[in-house]
Amino acid sequence: MIRRLYEGSLDPSAQDLRREPGYRDAMANLLQAEETLRKNLSIEHCSTLEKLSASYIEIQKISARSAFADGFSIGAQLTAEALRRF
């Protein structure tokens, strides 16, 4: 697994979220809300909505990277502590 991570063939960010509980409902709600907004907004406001969406996506990516790094670090610390006990 470490070799696959190093070589780039293991990509946790490529996980298929469609299998996660609640994902489909949340995505359906998101798409419905976005469609409703787009129908009722001016072109200028639609542009602002797109910028808002892009910003949320960027924040989510940063958050996911940070959570992955934190989880990896905690896992390594747990492993080190477990090995010290033996």
**CA-to-CA separations, 26 to 23, 43, 53, 57, 75, in angstroms, rounded:** 5, 26, 15, 15, 29
Mean pLDDT over the full length of the chain: 88
User: Global pTM?
Assistant: 0.67
φ/ψ bin of 56: left (φ > 0), alpha (ψ from -120 to 50), beta (otherwise): alpha
Each residue of 8-40: pLDDT tens digit?
787 766 777 778 899 999 999 999 999 999 999
Cα separation, 10 vs 3, whole angstroms: 9
Q: What is the pLDDT at residue 39?
A: 94
